[in-house]
Amino acid sequence: MVSKTVRAWLPLAAVIVIFTGLVCVTVQQNYRMSANDPQIQIAEDIAEALSSGKAQADAIVPPQPTAEMAPSLATFVVIYSATGTPIGSSVALDGKLPTLPAGVLDAAKLRGENRLTWQPKTGVRIAAVVVSFSGPNPGYVLAGRSLREVEVRESQLNIMAASAGGLALVVAFLILMYFAKGEERHRENEAVADHHHEGQAHHEHHS
């Protein structure tokens, strides 16, 4: 009976695992994409102001920041020249102006905007939006903020999804086992009834 129940449970278990995984991935993607929302507006607004000449880089971010990127959850801004040299930033990375990996600015120049997860150092992950701008002094604007709280939510989501999925697997197995036992009892009752009818028929034949 147990082996039969397991065979019936396995396809259902696969569906539960797949569905739980899909839900988990979907919510995680929503968390990650939502983490870009403030940066998109900030980067685009600053890029437009710099491109049109309404503002200068040194009026937006200081050339030598005092705040550190790693411990902060605040949204920050870095402005780069056309060659990728940082010319001003609202945060520092280990006391220096943050630099970007090769190809990040090229992708922003090609598409006008580049949204990425940036890990400038171990233990620091940033939801970053890079927007290129033209004008007399072209360059790039990066707006970013820490993904620390998003990662906490993702960890909590994984725990809840695993707990819910595990509970669903156990409940599904118990339900199948319950019906299997009910079916087995029904067959046993039918067998007893058939045996009783056969005994009556045999007795009547000899009578």
Give DSSP secondary structure letters for 144-176.
EEE-HHHHHHHHHHHHHHHHHHHHHHHHHHHHH
Asked if 92 and 67 count as a contact pair (C-beta separation under 8 A), the reply is yes
- pLDDT per position as a tens digit, 39-72: 999 999 999 999 998 888 888 998 888 889 999 9
pLDDT of res. 178: 83
pLDDT of res. 12: 87
Number of domains in the chain: 2
- Which residues on adjacent β-strands are paired with residue 118? 126
Q: Which domain holds residue 178?
A: 2-26+154-206
Q: Is 10 in the same domain as 55?
A: no
Q: Is 19 in the same domain as 58?
A: no
Q: Is 55 in the same domain as 119?
A: yes
- pLDDT per position as a tens digit, 164-202: 999 999 998 888 888 878 776 766 666 555 555 555 555
Q: Is 90 in the same domain as 46?
A: yes
- Sorting pLDDT into bands at 50, 70 and 90, what band is 4? confident
Q: Is 90 in the same domain as 136?
A: yes
Beta strands in the chain (DSSP E): 76-81, 86-89, 113-121, 124-133, 139-146
pLDDT of res. 204: 55
CATH number of the domain residue 121 falls in:
3.30.450
- pLDDT per position as a tens digit, 77-101: 999 999 999 999 999 999 999 999 8
Q: Is 114 in the same domain as 178?
A: no
- Sorting pLDDT into bands at 50, 70 and 90, what band is 20? very high
The predicted model scores a pTM of: 0.74
Q: Is 96 in the same domain as 115?
A: yes
pLDDT of res. 197: 56
Q: Is 12 in the same domain as 70?
A: no
Q: Is 45 in the same domain as 61?
A: yes
